[in-house]
Structure 1
Amino acid sequence: MLCVHRLFSVFSPATRWSRPVVGAALTAGLVLSAGAKQPLKNAKAPAEQVEQSATSSRNTSSRATLSTGKEGGRYELTPERRALLNTIRYAEGTWKDGEDKGYRIMYGGGQFQDLSRHPERVIVKRYTSAAAGAYQFLPKTWKGVAKELKLSSFEPRHQDQAALHLVERRGALKEIDRKGLTRNAMAKLAPEWASFPTWTGRSAYGQPVKSPQDLASFYSSNLRQLRNQLGA
């Protein structure tokens, strides 16, 4: 469920982008390891090759971006943090199988193209909201965090950094680093994202909410995939 509640809270909250060097290397290793250098006798049929390529792309898009380089920003993207970000996207309805198009989503499901800035477009669809991006930032929330972190655009890596900053501000980042997405961490994030449950299991804003079990299951499964990609 997209977070329309952020209209009422200053603390509330999708073009390709240049992935960090390590993330790009990881993606290249995963996708190219079965490339043209293999013996001809092991070649797959064309249809099977296309299917495998599509599957590989789905499995590595976004989810494979784990580490940061000099341009990565304040927060390192560990497997635990990437799994958290993916879980927030899952809860907010912007997961899109891990594809980058999730970073271009506006409230209501529409897409925008310009990632140089927040679209700041008010959408009326059951509710009224200008939330946008993978983590459904409101313009006011985005401007504040972007200024604090010195983020020059709305590109995916900057959205990731901003979301982690909001998680840290809610006092949940260290706990998730140590213990994973606990029930207590979910409750801490509930005021930030309406799709996360409070201790009562409900949304802090009376909106549809994901269950603790659903979020924990997605987080655990995604974390396993990320660790397997790294051979951890």
Structure 2
Amino acid sequence: MLLLLLGLGLASLLWWNYRHRLNWLLLPYYGDIPPLAMQGGDPYLRALMRTISASEANDPNPYTILYGGSHVADLSRHPNHCVPIVSGPNIGKCTTAAGRYQFLTSTWEEKANLYHPQPGELWLAPGYSFAPQYQDQVVYAWLSDRQSWGVDIPELLRQGELDRVLHLLSGTWTSLGYGIESNLITPSLKQIYQKMLTEEKQQP
């Protein structure tokens, strides 16, 4: 009887983990992808950023989302919650991916150190603010950095080289079509980008 109960308990846990991960992978494509919190900037890069987030953090509140679909309230710094990975090649590990662009803690600290507009308060509150506008600003500056990527991403986008850009970025954001975690949004990224670009070009 005890073994039966333990077996049922384990099965329930495995089903919960599977369903939790499945819900994350099958998040519906919201027709209205939230605008960026950041003001201004190149409409081509802004459209790319919204496209990345459509695949990586497809949620009405993307800035607060963790891997798996739960949310956090405190964005004074990166949440640094290591959430268990329940499927895919990294199953059994955990990930700290968080926010609109699913930054790992280590990646956020590295890129924020280069691009964050506000210095980190190392002795009071270690780390950099993870507020929505700063998530955007760090990614915008990173994507604009020719030395970081070896190419001029905004210029490639103007030339219509979206496939090349997505391929380049897929090593960082693995749901962009060439990585290890494509999802149901991945095949629609080109259409999403065009929709986002149209919207961004209409902004004053």
TM-score (norm: length of structure 2): 0.65
Aligned position for 1:95: 58
Structure 2 match to 1:106 = 66
Structure 1 pair 215–172 and aligned structure 2 pair: CA distance change class (3 A): farther
Match of 1:153 among 119, 129, 153: 129
Q: CA deviation at 1:165?
A: 3.8
3-state secondary structure, aligned to 2:112: helix
Counterpart in the other structure of 2:197:
223
Cα pair distance change 1:60/1:88, threshold 3 Å = closer
Of 158, 169, 178, the match for 2:158? 178
**Which amino acid in 2 is paired with 1:155?**
A
Aligned residues of 1:195 and 1:210 also touching (Cα < 8 A):
no
Identity, % of aligned pairs? 29
How does the TM-score come out when normalised to structure 1?
0.58
Q: Distance in 2 between matches of 1:156 and 1:213?
A: 27
- 1:78 deviates by 2.0
> Given residue 95 of structure 1, which amino acid in structure 2 is its aligned partner?
N
Are residues 1:144 and 2:104 paired?
no
Q: Does 1:78 align with 2:54?
A: no
| 1:131-161 deviations in Å (ceiling 9; x for gaps) | 1110000111111111112444101111112
Equivalent residue for 1:194, pick from 154, 164, 174 = 174
1:153-205 alpha-carbon deviations (Å, 9 max, x no partner): 1011111122234434223523345235611111111111101123xxxx2xx
Structure 2 spans left out of the alignment, 5+ residues: 1-30, 119-127
User: Quick check: 1:197–1:210 contact (8 Å CA) kept in 2?
Assistant: no
RMSD between aligned alpha carbons? 2.7
Pairwise CA distance, 1:226 = 2.3
Paired position in structure 2 for 1:123: 83
Deviation per residue, 1:55-83 (Å, 9 max, x gap): xxx9695258541xxxxxxxxx2221111
Closer, same or farther in 2 for the Cα pair 1:156/1:180, shift >3 Å? farther
Aligned partner (choices 47, 52, 62) of residue 35 of structure 2:
62
Q: Tell me: CA distance 1:154–1:109, structure 2 relative to 1, closer, same or farther (3 Å).
A: same
**SS across alignment from 1:188:** helix
Q: Is the 8 A contact 2:100 2:135 kept in 1?
A: yes
Change (3 A) 1:221 1:158: same
Q: Distance in 2 between matches of 1:119 and 1:220?
A: 32
Map 1:33-72 to 2 at 5 A: 62-63=35-36, 66-67=39-40
Q: Which amino acid aligns with 2:70?
A: G
Call closer, same or farther: CA 1:212–1:225 in 2, change over 3 Å. Answer: same
Question: Structure 2 CA distance, aligned partners of 1:187 and 1:217?
Answer: 16
Residue aligned with 2:195, SS: helix
Match of 1:47 in 2: none
- Provide structure 1 residue ranges, at least 5 long, that are not aligned to the other structure: 1-57, 68-76
